[in-house]
Amino acid sequence: AKYVYDFTEGNRNLKDLLGGKGANLAEMTNLGLPVPPGFTITTDACRHYLAAGVVPDGLEQEVAEHLDALEKQMGRRLGQADDPLLVSVRSGAKFSMPGMMETVLNIGLNDESVHGLAKQAGGNDRFAWDSYRRLIQMFGKTVLGIDGDLFEHALDTLKGKRQDTDLDAGELQGLVETFKGIVHEQTGKDFPTDPREQMRLAVMAVFDSWNAPRAILYRRQERIPADLGTAVNIVAMVFGNVGNDSGTGVAFTRDPGTGRQGIYGDYLQNAQGEDVVAGIRNTIPLEELERIDKRSYDELLGIMETLENHYRDLCDIEFTIERGKLWMLQTRVGKRTAAAAFCIATQLVDQGLITIDEAVTRVTGDQLAQLMFPRFDGGADKKKIAKGMNASPGAAVGKAVFCSERAVELSEQGEDVILVRRETNPDDLSGMIAAKGILTSRGGKTSHAAVVARGMGKTCVCGAEELEVSTSEGRFTAPGGVVVSEGDVISIDGTSGEIYLGEVPVVDSAVVEYFEGAEPEDELVKAVDRIMSHADSVRRLGVRANADTPDDAARARRFGGQGIGLCRTEHMFLGERRQLVEDLVLASTDEARQAALDALEPLQKADFTEIFRAMDGNPVTIRLIDPPLHEFLPDIVDLSVKVATDGATDKDRKLLAAVKRLHEQNPMLGLRGVRLGLVIPGLFAMQVRAIAQAAKEVPGARPEIMIPLVAAVQELESVREEAAKILAETGVEALIGTMIEVPRAALTAAQIAEAAEFFSFGTNDLTQMTWGFSRDDVESAFFSRYLDQGIFGVSPFETLDREGVGRLIRIAVEEGRSTRPDLHLGICGEHGGDPDSVHFCHDVGLDYVSCSPFRIPIARLEAGRAAL
Ligand code: PEP
Ligand code: MG
């Protein structure tokens, strides 16, 4: 194997092997830009080292050969006493992990070569001793694992009130002695003076820094795989700390906040790279370099233009000027805000650098999502009192209320409220709708509160366990004894999970206003408009909405939804209608049951009529009722308590007996979906009749009837027959299909397709049942541990698990289509609006995805990206 690449050998496409920094240094070298010579040790070597605990055979030999070549090119040897070559040893992984891993500068200095360095710099002793103390400091901290504060403290003590540039050569020489003392004291050994040994140890330290805790944490957050390893770059040192004709800086080729072209950067005179990041002295704006060193400044601007044209994107760079000579130390395609991403993509199209196809691939659904949420004004004063999980992004401000009735009441009076609960349940829906935001102290990202809030596009912070919520007393306590009572104003940030006392000013999303129908005005919205139109024109996947109210349906249309992929009819039975469902489920006689059905039918018909109208000729997939029973029956504990008290009636006692009879240990695996339809005569028939009658009233209505939780074709057949009969009687045409949300349904899809004209993958249940994870519990219970341990990088309830759940989907798609080539295929689990999962749906050949109205634009964009 080849483990080492000279900068002249690599290129920017070798990021896997050379890391981002190494690949781009090679690219710049080959572009003829002024890059100090050097070479890169591959990520392969790092992976080998991390797995085996030793560097691979042959690596040391290869490094020695490249170092020889570097020494020849530079005309000096590493650490040569009278004229030393110094090198930096820099980390650089495939994905940028800013500041998370290690770098050591000035390798090659020791008590002899420090004099040689001074001579090289024209007798500049100060510079040489400053470089030497930096080496010991960085090496001590990074390679030897000494607490960096010890060095900082010694430096601060010496400086007093002065700046580090005020220290003279003698003082810095003294500091070197102090630092050496620290090393000896902390490690029991002397600072290593052999230059090659310094380099060897530094390389291993960089390898090891791949597994530093902060690097692990960062990777988890950014979803960077844990097994990539880092490359190591060994680069001839150039010095920004030789004097005032030297310095170091960072710059962007355009504004990473807005995308505007211009000069964006910082410069620090007489300094080395780490000073800029560490904020030791205040940097100056890059524009001022023009005054200090016009030649270097002009050259830098020229290089930035070359880089933008070459990379055809915003680049960020690091550079150093050594005695008037400019050197490029790094470049990469730069990180940017979501807003800048859209603006830059279209700017580059206008400049003729990229095509509009490319522009679509340059932005992501996650970035679009960020642009859709209102946010807190970044500059405002805030008093943070706690932090929970960022369950549904956005910024919400309002009076804290502790029950749904109060939330509704106050919002009707025109007040903004935040609904604060320990956790929410379906009864809280009205309060959640009325509230600006939802805050819970228990439950994870798929808790009821989180899922419902996301569905509504409503800000939600959940699982804020530091909060002590007392609903009965109408207040919560935050750490530090802060008490928030009903009516006190709080602000919650669903993007960060932070909770503030008092009102933090909020700014609205212009992008949402645009999706709602406003004309695009500012540059950002125009950019979004162009990119969305193009994504729509190239995507193959249709995008539908999960919607069960006329309002949601109407919004879904405005946001570009091409129909409804999931109308959850049980959501139509919450609130005051819940009683009717309870009556139905608990009915002990045929008459009682029929009475309940008769009461429900006209309500259902009216619901469907409105939705068909809102959908205006687009397909509407109506799922027959699928209520987990525990959500619709009275709480067994409450009822038992009531029965045990004196005031209990005979009816209460009968009710309790019935509830006990139907009580289930695992309601999610119990009498739900098609099972309920088969057990309660007339229920599904009532719904189908209501659908048919509504369809008759709305010209152009396109109902699709969907049977939930089917596991066997036999379950489907009898329901299908009954439905088909009702449709025939009423003369209404509708597709009849099924959800695929039980693994057995996926595995027997060939049979099921005989009785289904469409499949819609219910990946919430399919994930729950494939993994055996309770969707209501696991995220708060132990997923954080699983994420910590890297068992998965992201919750399978959030992003579709391609290997497991995805495999079942593939099987069902293939087998279903083998039975029925025109089988229509969609997805309606939460994954339908998740960017990565949308790509999977495209790849596996589904016809459409369905997601909550607010995620429709994200799905449209990602479907476009998937097609390119
Ligand atoms: C599903 O299971 O993915 C689904 C869409 O149904 P529900 O979430 O209502 O169970
Ligand atoms: Mg389901």
Torsion of CA 830, 836, 839, 840, to 10 degrees: -70
Q: Give the number of other Cβ atoms within 10 Å of residue 780's Cβ.
A: 21
**Is 659 within a domain?**
no
578 lines ligand 1 (CB under 6 A): no
Q: 569 CA to middle of ligand 2, Å? A: 12
User: How high is the pLDDT of residue 781?
Assistant: 77
Nearest atom in ligand 1 to 546's CA: 5
For residue 845, report the distance from its CA to the centre of ligand 2, in Å. 21
User: Among 302, 333, 364, where does a domain finish?
Assistant: 333
Minimum CA distance residue for ligand 1 atom 6: 762
The packing angle between helices 523-538 and 365-372, to 10°, is 140
Sheet containing 468-470: order of strands: 468-470, 475-478, 482-485
Q: For a substitution probing ligand 1, which of 741, 742, 761 has the most ligand atoms within 8 Å of its CB?
A: 741
Task: Tell me the mean pLDDT in the region 789-809.
Answer: 91
For a ligand 1 pocket test, name from 709, 764, 800 the mutation site with the most ligand atoms within 8 angstroms of its C-beta: 764
558 C-alpha to ligand 2 centroid (Å): 26
Distance from the alpha carbon of residue 679 to the mean position of ligand 2, in angstroms = 18
- Torsions phi, psi of 591, nearest 5? -65, -45
The amino acid occupying position 544 is: R
Whether 455 lines ligand 1, by a CB cut-off of 6 Å, is: no
Q: Mean pLDDT across the stretch 815-838?
A: 97
Q: Is 828 a catalytic residue?
A: yes
CA of 853 to the centre of ligand 1 (A): 16
Specify whether 230 is located in the same domain as 255: no
Ligand 1 atom nearest the C-alpha of 568 is 9
Tokens at residue 39, please?
């070479």
- Locate the ligand 1 atom nearest the alpha carbon of residue 768 and give its number: 2
Confidence at residue 726, expressed as pLDDT on a 0 to 100 scale: 97
Residue 390 included in any domain: yes
Backbone angles phi, psi at 832, to 5 degrees: -60, -20
| 88 beta partners | 235
Give start and end residues of each alpha helix (H) in 698-712: none
Ligand 2 center–CA 634 separation, angstroms? 22
pLDDT at 256: 78
Instruction: Establish whether residue 672 lines the binding site of ligand 1, counting it when its CB lies within 6 angstroms of any ligand atom.
Output: no
Cα dihedral angle (645, 647, 649, 653), rounded to 10 degrees? Answer: -10
Residue 741: inside a domain: yes
ipTM greater than cut 0.85: yes
Cα(198) to ligand 1 centroid in Å equals: 59
Residues 27, 100: one domain? yes
- Which residues lie below 8 Å from residue 13, measured CB to CB, with a gap of 6+? 23
Domain boundary among 333, 358, 391: 333
User: Is residue 593 domain-shared with residue 741, that is, in the same domain?
Assistant: yes
Q: Quick check: is 851 catalytic?
A: no
Computed over every residue of the chain, the mean pLDDT equals 92
Residue 523 within a domain? no
Per-residue pLDDT of 280-315, as tens digits, reads 567 788 999 999 999 999 999 999 999 999 999 999
Ligand at shortest distance from the CA of 567: 1
493: in domain:
yes
Tell me how far CA of residue 730 lies from CA of 128, 172, 615, 620, 690, in angstroms: 93, 94, 21, 18, 11
Q: Give the per-residue pLDDT at 647.
A: 82
Distance of CA 33 to the CA centre of its chain: 36
- For the CA of 829, the closest atom of ligand 1 is 3
SS3 459: strand
Cα atoms in the Cβ-side hemisphere of radius 13 Å centred on 717: 6
How many Cβ atoms from other residues are within 10 Å of residue 651's Cβ? 8
By three-state DSSP, how is residue 284 classified?
A: strand
Ligand 1 pocket test: pick from 768, 808, 828 the residue with the most ligand atoms within 8 Å of its Cβ.
828
Strand partners, 332: 316
pLDDT greater than 60 at residue 278: no
Catalytic option among 46, 66, 343, 448: 448
Residue 455: the pLDDT is: 64
Nearest to 143 by CA among 117, 195, 104: 104
Q: CA torsion angle for 446, 450, 455, 457 (degrees, to 10)?
A: -140
With bands split at pLDDT 50, 70 and 90, how would you rate the model's confidence at 279?
low
> Which of these, 809, 811, 824, lies nearest to 750 by C-alpha position?
811
- As a whole number of angstroms, the distance between CA 798 and CA 694 comes to 35
Same domain, 65 and 189: yes
| Closest ligand 1 atom to 760 CA | 5
Q: In what order do the strands lie in the sheet with 284-285?
A: 284-285, 261-269, 247-254, 315-322, 325-333
In the predicted structure, residue 277 carries a pLDDT above the cut 60: no
> 30 in ligand 1 pocket by Cβ < 6 Å?
no
Quick check: CB of 762 below 6 Å from ligand 1? yes
Name the residue at shortest CA distance from atom 9 of ligand 1.
Answer: 568
Q: From the CA of 827, which ligand is nearest?
A: 1
- φ, ψ for residue 240 (rounded to 5)? -95, 0
Amino acid at 151: F
Residues 441, 586 share a domain: no
Residue whose CA lies nearest to ligand 1 atom number 8: 764
Check if the beta carbon of residue 175 is closer than 8 Å to that of residue 167: yes
SS3 825: strand
- Cα distance between residue 257 and residue 178, in whole Å: 43
In tens, the pLDDT along 625-675 reads 998 777 778 888 888 988 888 888 888 888 888 889 888 888 889 999 999
Flag whether 863 is in a domain: yes
In this model, does residue 99 exceed pLDDT 80?
no
| Three-state DSSP state, 672 | coil
Ligand 1 atom 1: residue of nearest CA: 762
Q: How far is it, in rounded angstroms, from Cα 160 to Cα 290?
A: 33
- pLDDT confidence band for 860 (50 / 70 / 90): very high
pLDDT grade for 507, boundaries at 50, 70 and 90: confident
Is the CB–ligand 1 distance for residue 828 below 6 Å?
Answer: yes
3-state SS record for 98-109: CCCCCEEEEECC
pLDDT per residue over 196-231, tens digit each? 999 999 999 999 999 988 788 778 766 788 889 999
Please say which residue of 468, 487, 508 terminates a domain. Answer: 508
Say yes or no: 388 and 501 in one domain: yes
- Contact between 181 and 189 (Cβ < 8 Å): no
Ligand number, closest to the Cα atom of 833: 1
Q: Distance, CA 360 to ligand 2 centroid (Å)?
A: 33
What gap in Å lies between CA 355 and CA 534, rounded to an integer?
Answer: 11
Q: Kindly list the protein residues that place their beta carbon closer than 5 angstroms to ligand 2, a single-atom ion.
A: 741, 762, 765
* Residue 626 alpha carbon, nearest atom of ligand 1: 9
Contact 453, 445 (CB under 8 A): no
Among residues 324, 749, 762, the alpha carbon closest in space to that of 566 is found at 762
In sequence order, the β-bridge partners of residue 636 are: none
569 pLDDT more than 60 = yes
User: Among 636, 706, 634, 635, which Cα is nearest to 677's?
Assistant: 706
The ligand 1 atom at the shortest distance from the C-alpha of residue 764 is: 3
Bridge partner residues of 386 (DSSP) = 499
Q: Give the C-alpha separation, 615 to 610, whole Å.
A: 9
- 237-266 confidence digits (pLDDT tens): 999 988 899 999 988 899 877 788 888 888
Quote the CA–CA distance of 598 and 606 in Å, as a whole number: 13
CATH code assigned at 598: 3.20.20.60
| Distance from residue 227's CA to the centre of ligand 1 (Å) | 34
The residue-averaged pLDDT of 446-466 equals 79
Domain of residue 206, CATH code: 3.30.1490.20
Identify the CATH number of the domain in which residue 253 sits.
3.30.470.20
Which ligand is the nearest neighbour of the Cα of 763?
1
Lowest mean pLDDT among 341-345, 425-429, 837-841: 425-429
430 lines ligand 1 (CB under 6 A): no
Give the distance (Å) from ligand 1 centre to CA of residue 751: 22
CB of residue 765 inside a 6 A radius of ligand 1: yes
- What average pLDDT score do residues 805-818 get? 98
Instruction: Give the mean model confidence (pLDDT) for residues 367-379.
Output: 86
Whether residue 425 is found in the same domain as residue 282: no
Q: How is 476-505 classified by DSSP, letter by letter?
A: EEEGGGEEEETT-EEEEETTTTEEEESPPP
Q: What values do phi and psi take at 301, rounded to 5? A: -60, -40
Query: How far apart are the C-alpha atoms of 53 and 44, rounded to whole Å?
Result: 13
Q: What residue type is 526 in one-letter code?
A: K
Residue 186: CB within 6 Å of ligand 1?
Answer: no
Alpha-carbon distance 154 to 146, whole Å?
13
CA dist 735 to 260, 556, 562, 571, 572, Å?
51, 21, 17, 22, 22
Best residue among 454, 566, 742 to mutate for probing ligand 1, ranked by most atoms within 8 Å of CB: 566
Would you state the structure tokens that stand for residue 638, as one six-digit string?
């409450």
| 213 and 254 housed in the same domain | no
Q: Reduce the DSSP state of residue 333 to 3 states and report it.
A: strand
pLDDT tens column, 528-556: 999 999 999 999 999 999 999 999 999 99
CA 862, CA 834: separation in Å to the nearest integer? Answer: 9
- Residues 766 and 830 placed together within one structural domain of the fold: yes
Here the tokens at position 476 are 């919560």
Report pLDDT for 725: 97
The 3-state secondary structure of 298-318, one letter per residue = HHHHHHHHHHHHHHCCCEEEE
The verdict on 780 and 710 lying in the same domain is: yes
Instruction: Tell which atom from ligand 1 comes closest to the C-alpha of 570.
Output: 9
pLDDT tens digits, one per residue of 424-440:
876 788 888 899 999 99
DSSP string, 503-571: PPPEE--HHHHHHTTPPP-SHHHHHHHHHHHHHHHH--SEEEEE--SHHHHHHHHHTT--SEEEEEGGG
Share of the chain above pLDDT 90, in %: 73
Q: What is the pTM of this model?
A: 0.81
> Hey, how many other C-beta atoms are within 10 angstroms of the C-beta on 576?
8
Q: Are residues 208 and 260 in the same domain?
A: no
Size (the chain), residues = 868
The residue type found at 809 is I
Q: In this predicted structure, what is the pLDDT of residue 635?
A: 85
Q: Is residue 352 part of a domain?
A: no
Domain shared by 34 and 68, yes or no: yes
* Rounded mean pLDDT, 61-82: 96
Give residue 741 CA to ligand 1 midpoint distance, Å.
Answer: 8
Check residue 791 and give its pLDDT.
84
How much distance in Å is there from the Cα of 768 to the middle of ligand 1?
A: 10
Decide if 301 contacts 328 (C-beta within 8 A). Answer: no
444 has a pLDDT exceeding 80 = no
- Whether 566 lines ligand 1, by a CB cut-off of 6 Å, is yes
124 CB-near residues (< 8 Å, 6+ apart): 118, 242, 243
In total, how many domains does the chain have?
4
CA distance 542 to 224: 30
Q: Among 573, 629, 765, name the best residue to mutate to test ligand 1's pocket (greatest count of ligand atoms within 8 A of Cβ).
A: 765
Catalytic option among 403, 460, 828, 851: 828
| Domain extent at residue 317 | 247-333
Residue of 505, 502, 387, 487 lying closest to 439 (CA atoms): 387
Pairwise CA distance, residues 355 & 342, whole Å: 14
Q: Indicate whether 362 belongs to any domain.
A: no
The owner of tokens 């499949």 is: 759
CATH number for the domain that contains residue 448 = 3.50.30.10
829 Cβ inside 6 Å of ligand 1: yes
